[in-house]
Amino acid sequence: MEQDALAAARFERPGVSNTHLAALPPCTDLPVLDTLYQVLGCMYVLEGATLGGQIITRHVQRVLHLGECSGCTFFHGYRSDTATMWKSFGQLLVTHISNGEAENAVIVASCETFTLFHQWLGVGAKV
């Protein structure tokens, strides 16, 4: 699938109009990304979501019969490259986290990212 078509398919949802999509609130309370460790913590959440997306994809395909180009594109992540990309990210973490202080900073940033996403999605619970 061409990149433009794939990008367009990410916004196609059965039964959801462009008006509904435009009415969704933007995520305005974003994580602070002033340090490398804050960036890595946020990336941990986003990259980890690609792994969860693989599980969601299988379930949605089985139960709702939606595929990559019919309402399930977002969850496909890197498609067949998801595991490889996750392993590469893991290596990046190993390379840049050299001590307990750095590790703690990444964990704090990850938790902040999870909390902000929960608040944006209306869950409101602290992680």
CATH number of the structural domain spanning residue 93? 1.20.910.10
Specify if 110 maps to a domain: yes
**In which domain, by residue range, is 32 found?**
3-120
Q: Which tokens hold the place of 36?
A: 């490398």
Nearest alpha carbon to residue 89 among 49, 47, 53 = 47
For residue 14, is pLDDT > 60?
A: no
Is the pLDDT assigned to residue 8 strictly greater than 50? Answer: yes
125 assigned to some structural domain: no
Per the domain annotation, does 46 fall within a domain?
A: yes
* DSSP H helices in 65-99: 82-96
Dist CA 69 CA 83 (whole Å): 21
* Contact of 106 with 114, CB cutoff 8 Å: no
**C-alpha to C-alpha distance for 1 and 67, rounded to whole angstroms:** 13
**Given a cut of 60, is residue 127 above it in pLDDT?**
no
Q: pLDDT, tens digit, for every residue of 83-113?
A: 999 999 999 999 999 899 999 999 999 999 9
Q: Does any domain span residue 20?
A: yes
pLDDT score for 58? 87
Which of the two residues, 68 and 117, has the higher pLDDT score? 117
What confidence tier does 5 reach under pLDDT thresholds 50, 70, 90? low
In a domain, 127, yes or no: no
What is the average pLDDT score of the chain? 83
Structural domains counted in the chain: 1
pLDDT category of residue 22 using cuts at 50, 70 and 90 = confident
Give the rounded percent of residues in the chain with a pLDDT score beyond 90: 43
13: three-class secondary structure by DSSP:
strand
Task: Give 25-43 pLDDT, tens digit per residue.
Answer: 888 899 999 999 999 999 9
Q: Is 126 within a domain?
A: no
